[in-house]
């Protein structure tokens, strides 16, 4: 049986530190098959930009500043996400046998494992069909519409994910709302009073009761174990690891040159 490394962060972290930890896991992958599975939270509401997005096209920076909402840029692609009252998962892997050689193939397998976890919670998730062209080409936030093979419950998106690949190694992370606030998302994402519907739901709304982080993570972990048939062992960072992580946080993820490159 293959063994993965598991990291469940016990306390919410600042957005820049979360992104630095995920990148460190990606860079820590050896050439031989290895997989890191992580679950974490955010210390405060944080808007994350996809790697290639122009902030002025998708984000109301003045609103974020006034409301104390942090802004980060991911190393992965995808659209704007507001991280708030959620579980975030990340998977970094160099195992082509389990995850295939393509972005689409690995994305689909991870979605299938996530759906197993949602089913264990009592939900009936399904993979979304291809997103309409207006969503793919537009500046809509991630949770305005499910993209192909993303996961929805009762026709509404419940998980939004993004991936970065380099050779046989990849990082994928995604947002799973515990609770949601579509009005706040609209304000952050420049949709404001737009009549366009935010087609998202949350674990608490879908289950009809309040759901906490640890309860949901336990079910998600069980879904990954069932689908991939692997074992888990805890991951701990050394002092050298933390030095690298904090270096990434300070020099990259808290740098205006990284977050707002179009303003340089």
The residues annotated as belonging to the active site are 142
203, two tokens: 């674990």
52 burial class (0-12, 13-18, 19+ CB within 10 angstroms)? exposed
Residue 72 DSSP SS3: strand
Report how far Cα 203 is from the mean position of its chain's Cα atoms.
15
**Strands in the chain per DSSP E:** 3-8, 35-40, 46-49, 70-73, 81-83, 86-93, 126-127, 151-153, 156-166, 169-177, 231-234
d(CA 210, CA 248): 35
CB 143 within 8 A of CB 199: yes
d(CA 141, CA 35): 29
The residue count of the chain comes to 264
d(CA 87, CA 132): 27
């Amino acid at each position: 049986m293959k063994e993965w490394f598991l990291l469940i962060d016990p306390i919410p972290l600042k957005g820049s530190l979360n992104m630095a930890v995920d990148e460190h896991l990606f860079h820590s992958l050896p050439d031989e098959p290895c997989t890191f599975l992580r679950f974490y939270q955010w210390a405060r509401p944080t808007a994350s930009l996809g790697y290639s997005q122009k902030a002025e096209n998708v984000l109301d920076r003045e609103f974020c500043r006034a409301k104390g909402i942090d802004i980060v840029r991911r190393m992965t692609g995808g659209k704007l996400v507001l991280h708030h009252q959620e579980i975030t998962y990340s998977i970094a892997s160099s195992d082509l046998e389990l995850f295939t050689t393509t972005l689409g193939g690995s994305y689909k397998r991870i979605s299938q494992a996530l759906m197993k976890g949602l089913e264990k919670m009592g939900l009936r998730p399904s993979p979304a069909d291809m997103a309409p062209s207006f969503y793919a080409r537009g500046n809509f936030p991630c949770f305005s519409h499910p993209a192909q093979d993303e996961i929805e419950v009762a026709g509404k998106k419940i998980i939004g994910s993004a991936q970065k690949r380099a050779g046989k190694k990849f990082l994928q992370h995604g947002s799973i709302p515990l609770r949601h606030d579509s009005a706040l998302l609209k304000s952050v994402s420049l949709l404001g009073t737009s009549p366009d519907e935010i087609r998202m739901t949350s674990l608490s709304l879908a289950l009809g009761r309040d759901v906490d982080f640890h309860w949901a993570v336990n079910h998600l972990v069980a879904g990954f174990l069932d689908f991939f048939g692997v074992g888990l062992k805890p991951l701990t960072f050394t002092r050298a690891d933390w030095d690298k992580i904090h270096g990434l946080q300070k020099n990259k993820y808290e740098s205006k040159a990284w977050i707002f490159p179009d303003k340089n």
